[in-house]
Structure 1
C-alpha cells in the first residue's frame, strides 16, 4: 500500500510541473538567458504533413552538379545554378584478373546504378552491398590492409546562399585546404559574394525582396592505393546535397506565401518545396532526363518521408533572425502542436500511473506466502516477469511467457530500444524459423541479441528455461535478460567473437586464403569477408601442430565443449542440436573459451526419466543428428554424444565430417557408414570417435568419460600414465592376466621389434644398465620409464635427441610407437579402472 501511495505522490507533482512548464512554453513572449526579449515565430498556417504527396516544386541536383528548382505542374525549371564539379565520379585502374589471389587485391568500392546511392563492393564474382554509408566509411579511414594497401577518405563542404525566388547566387562559403585561424580569432573561410571574393565574410548582399535559400554540398571521396606504391587502385567521389529555408521576414511560416518568381513571366506564383525554418536532403539524379524521372512520381514517398525533412536543430527550438532588431531569438513549435504533445504526455503518464498502481498492488499481494521460493524460481521470475507460477517445460497456453512489457520501444538511426535493451541494426548471424542474431547493449554491457519470432514462443521459453538453469557454468553462454515487442522476443546473450565453425574456417590451411568460388552468392561472399576481418583478432592462434595433432589451444576448446555438455547432462538437459555453429568462442586476455549455445529445441528430463519418447518434438540440424533422431527412436543423452563425435572430428580435421558431404550425411548416418581416414595418424582420436559414433546408443561413452579420454591428456599426463603402468607391472607375475593382455597388443602397439626404431646412441645408453627383450611391451615401457627417471643424468647429446620434458620426450616416443599409449590404456581400463592408483586416469577429477 505504501508503494501505491508513493507512485501517486511522485506522479502528481510531475504532472503539475508539466502544466507549469507548458504555460511558460506557450507564452507568446519570453526572456532568453541574457535577459533579451525573445519573440516567438508566427503561428504555422500549414503543417509539415499537409498534402505530403502533392508538392508543387522540388529542388533537385543533376549529375553535372547543377541545382534546379522544378515546377512539378509545368515540368519546367524555375531557376538553376551550378554547385561545382559533377556530384559523382569514379575510377578503377586496370586489374590483372589472372593474378588475383584474394578479394583484398581484386575489389573496388562504388555506388549502385541508377539512383541507388548506396555503397557496393565489386569483385570479379559480382557485387555486395555494404552496410556503411559513404560518410561512415570515410570517417573510418585511413585503413591499412594486410598486404600494405591503403584507403584514404576525405570530406569537403560548401554552402551556397541563393535567392529562393530567382535562384540568384548571393554568396558561397567553403573551407580552404588548410584552414587556420587569423589574427582576430575568426576562421580563414573562403567567402565569395555576388560582387567578388573576400578573405572573411562581410555583410550578406540581400536585396529587399529576396528570400535566402541555403544549399549545402558535401563531397566524400574514397581512394585506394596499390600496396607499397602511390598508384591509385580505385577511387569514388559522391556529393550529398542539402537545402535549408529560413524564410526571413516571411509572413507565412511554412513557405506557403505567394512568391513572384523572377525566372518566369511576371505574376507567376509558386510555393517553396520545403517548410519554412527546416532542412532536407536534395534529390540527386544520375540520369540525363530529369523531367521523365520527376514525371513518374516514384520518388515522392522517399523525398517526403520524415527522414528527409528534418528540423534545423533537433531537440531544440529553431534559430531565426528577427527582422527588426537583429537579435537571435527562439522560434518554438506552434501552440496547437505543443498542446497536442503535452496532452499525449499527460495521458500516457496518467494511464501508466494507474496501471503501475494496480500492478504494484497485485505484486504486493502475490508476494505473500512466496518468500521461500528457491533460487532458480527467483531468477526465472526476475527475467521472465511471471507473476508467481513456475514456468514448466511443457507449459500450456494459460502459462504464457511474460516479458518486460513496462518498457517502451524507442527508435534511433542505428537501432531501437526495447526496455533495458538497445538493439543495433547490424546483423551477426541467421538461424532457422526467422531467428536473427544482432548486436546490442543490455544495461551498458555489449551483448548478442537473439531475436526470435513471437509465434515460436515455445522455443524461446525452452531456451530461456535451460539457460537460466545452466548459464552459471563457464562453458554455457550467459543469459543477461529478456525483452519483447509486438512481433519478437529478444534474448540478451553473452557476446562472443565467433562460432567454433568460424574459428575452424579461419585457422584451417584449406581456407587460409579464403577462396571465393565462381557463382558465390552475396551472402556467402559477405561471410568470407567477415571471416577475413576476424583474422586480425585471432592472430597467433594455431589449432594444429605441424604433425597434424591438435594444439593445446584446440584441446582446451574441445574440452570446453565436453565440459559444457557434462553440465547440461547433470541437469537433465539434452541439447539435441550440438554442432560447430552452436558452439561460440569468447576471448579474454588472449585465452579462447568455447561455450554451448542455441538450446531452443533442448529437452529437460524430469523425475526418473532417463530418455525421451519415441516421438520427441523438435529436430536437430541435418548432418549432425544421431541415427535414433533421424529414425524417430528413443532418445537419451547419447544423442548429444553422437553429435559431439561429429564436432570433434570437425575440429581435428579442419572442417571435415566423418559421414561425408552434406547431401549424403543423413543417409550415411542411418546406414552407419563413416570414415575416420583423416584422423588415422592419431590413434587416440580414432578410439574415441569410433565409440562416440557407434550406431548403438548404449555403446557410446558418457560425457564424463569422454573428458577423461587420453585424447585430451597433456604430454605430462601421458608420460605419467606410462611410468605408473610400468611400475605396476613390475609387481605382476609373469603369467598374470594383465601381462598376457598387454603382450597380446605387441603387434599393433610396437609394429615389430622396438629397438629397431630407437636412435643408436639412445639404444646404447638404454642397454648400458640392463638387458631388454625387444619383443616385449612390458620391456618397452620399462625402457621408457628408466630413461624418463634418469633424464637429467643423460649426456646433453642424448637429451637433445629426446627433446625437452615433457613435450619433446613424449613426441619422440609417440612418433615411433603411435599406438602404444592407446593400446596400454585400453588394457588398463579393463583391468585396473577401479584401482585407487589408476582412478585419476579414468575420471575427470584430476582435470
Structure 2
C-alpha cells in the first residue's frame, strides 16, 4: 500500500489516512480523510500536475449529481483535494458477490440512474459524477482547449484522441461529455464491462473508440438493446461530434424511454389481472427484463402481485408469484388503501 510521505512544514488542513486507500489512477491516488471534521475523500496528485484554472472550475461545480470539491491545497510535493465522500464507486457494484468490497446496497432502476446522471433527478439513492481531471470552463462557443490532456483515456471521446491535421491542439466540448456519458451507460448495461473492449486491454479499447467500433454492444441484453441502442446509445456514441446527440436531447430520449417503460408496467398489470391464454410466466419474465418498476401501481393502488392473486387462476400462478417476488416486488404493499392478505400455496400477499 502506498504511503503518503510526511508533510513539509507548511500546515495542511486536509487530514488524510494513507492506509485507507480508496483508489488510484494515472494522475493520483485517493484516500479516506477528514476536512473540518467531516469525512471526505482526499485525492492526492503530484504538484506539477495541479492546474489552478481546473481547480477553480471544479469548485464552481455545485450539483446534486456531481461530487463536490470542498477545498484544495498543496505542499512542495503534492496537491490535495478534499472531495465529497460517497458510499461506493461504480466499480464496487460489479465486483464478485463474495468480494468484501462489493456494494450490496440499494440501487435505482437503470432508467432512473441514467436520468439522474443526465439531468440531475434526485431519488433515494443519488448517483454522482466524479474524477474531474478534465474539468475546464467552456468558452462562449461551448468549447475548451484540451492541452496537457488528463484523465483515463479509454473513457473519453474519439475527437480527443486524434491529432489535428494542422497541428493545433484538439478542443473538447459538451458533446465530448455526452460520449463519455454513453460509455458509463454502457458499463452499467454490461455489469462493469467496457463497450469498446476488455478492461485488461486498454490499447484495444482506444483503437476501437477511434474507429467507432463498440465491440461489446451485442452483449447487452437484447430487450434493453432494442429499447436503448438505436434511440440513445448509438446517438451518444457517434464518432463525429457534429452528428452526436446533445445533452438536452439525451434527457428527452431518456424521458421518452421512461414513458415506454411505464406502458410496459401497465402491460404487466393487465397480464396479471386476467386469465389470458398466453404464456403467463414467460411474458412476465420478458417484461421484467426491460428493467420496469414491478412495484408500480394502477389508479386503484394495486400492483402486479395484488392483481395476480386477486384475479388470476392460471395453472402457473405460483411460479408467476415467485418470479415477481424474486424481481423485488413488495409483498407488504398496501392494496387499494388497505391491507389485503391472501394465502396462495404458502405465499402471503
Query: Which TM-score applies when normalising by structure 1?
Result: 0.29
Relative to structure 1, the CA distance from residue 722 to residue 540 in structure 2 (aligned partners, 3 Å threshold; closer, same or farther) is closer
Query: 2:258, 2:156 → 1: CA distance?
Result: 30
Partner of 2:136: 603
For the 8 Å contact 1:791–1:799, the answer to whether it is kept is: no
Partner of 2:26: 432
Within 5 Å, which residues of 2 pair with 1:446-845? 446-458=39-51, 461-470=52-61, 472-505=62-95, 511-513=96-98, 532-535=99-102, 538-541=103-106, 552-563=108-119, 591-606=124-139, 608-612=140-144, 616-632=147-163, 634-661=171-198, 662=201, 663-675=203-215, 676-679=217-220, 680-682=222-224, 683-687=226-230, 688-710=232-254, 718-719=262-263, 761-762=275-276, 796-798=310-312
| Per-residue deviation, 1:799 | 8.7
Query: 1:559, 1:502 → 2: CA distance?
Result: 21
For the 8 Å contact 2:235–2:244, the answer to whether it is kept is: yes
| Per-residue deviation, 1:619 | 4.4
Query: 2:197, 2:57 → 1: CA distance?
Result: 32
| Per-residue deviation, 1:498 | 2.8
Q: 5+ unaligned residues in a row in structure 1: which ranges?
A: 1-128, 132-407, 411-416, 506-510, 514-531, 544-551, 567-589, 724-756, 765-787, 812-847
Query: 2:54, 2:206 → 1: CA distance?
Result: 26
Within 5 Å, which residues of 2 pair with 1:155-304? none
| Per-residue deviation, 1:678 | 1.6
Query: 1:591, 1:534 → 2: CA distance?
Result: 22
User: Which protein has greater RCO, CA pairs closer than 8 Å, 6+ apart?
Assistant: 2
For the 8 Å contact 1:500–1:594, the answer to whether it is kept is: no
Partner of 2:14: 421
Within 5 Å, which residues of 2 pair with 1:58-69? none
State the Cα deviation string for residues 513-536 of structure 1 (Å, max 9, x = none): 4xxxxxxxxxxxxxxxxxx3334x
Query: Which TM-score applies when normalising by structure 2?
Result: 0.64
* Superposition CA RMSD, Å: 4.2
Query: 1:484, 1:130 → 2: CA distance?
Result: 19
Q: 594-603 or 440-449, which moves further after superposition?
A: 594-603
For the 8 Å contact 1:440–1:447, the answer to whether it is kept is: yes
| Per-residue deviation, 1:632 | 3.5
Relative to structure 1, the CA distance from residue 563 to residue 429 in structure 2 (aligned partners, 3 Å threshold; closer, same or farther) is same
- State how many pairs are aligned: 276
| Per-residue deviation, 1:610 | 2.9
Query: 2:253, 2:85 → 1: CA distance?
Result: 31
Partner of 2:336: none
For the 8 Å contact 1:454–1:488, the answer to whether it is kept is: yes
Q: 5+ unaligned residues in a row in structure 2: which ranges?
A: 165-170, 279-297, 328-349
Query: 2:119, 2:54 → 1: CA distance?
Result: 19
For the 8 Å contact 1:418–1:484, the answer to whether it is kept is: no
Q: Give the 3-state SS of the residue equivalent to 1:483 in structure 2.
A: strand
Query: 1:617, 1:483 → 2: CA distance?
Result: 21
Whose radius of gyration is greater, 1 or 2?
1
| Per-residue deviation, 1:491 | 1.3
| Per-residue deviation, 1:677 | 0.9
Relative to structure 1, the CA distance from residue 600 to residue 672 in structure 2 (aligned partners, 3 Å threshold; closer, same or farther) is closer
Q: Give the 3-state SS of the residue equivalent to 1:592 in structure 2.
A: coil
Query: 1:597, 1:760 → 2: CA distance?
Result: 47
As a proportion of its length, which structure holds more strand? 1
Query: 1:599, 1:622 → 2: CA distance?
Result: 13
| Per-residue deviation, 1:449 | 1.3
State the Cα deviation string for residues 741-793 of structure 1 (Å, max 9, x = none): xxxxxxxxxxxxxxxx99994379xxxxxxxxxxxxxxxxxxxxxxx89999x
For the 8 Å contact 2:17–2:33, the answer to whether it is kept is: yes
Partner of 1:333: none
| Per-residue deviation, 1:456 | 2.1
Query: 2:275, 2:117 → 1: CA distance?
Result: 44
For the 8 Å contact 1:559–1:712, the answer to whether it is kept is: no
Relative to structure 1, the CA distance from residue 612 to residue 533 in structure 2 (aligned partners, 3 Å threshold; closer, same or farther) is same
For the 8 Å contact 1:462–1:601, the answer to whether it is kept is: no
Query: 1:422, 1:540 → 2: CA distance?
Result: 28
Q: Give the 3-state SS of the residue equivalent to 1:440 in structure 2.
A: strand
Q: Give the 3-state SS of the residue equivalent to 2:128 in structure 1.
A: strand
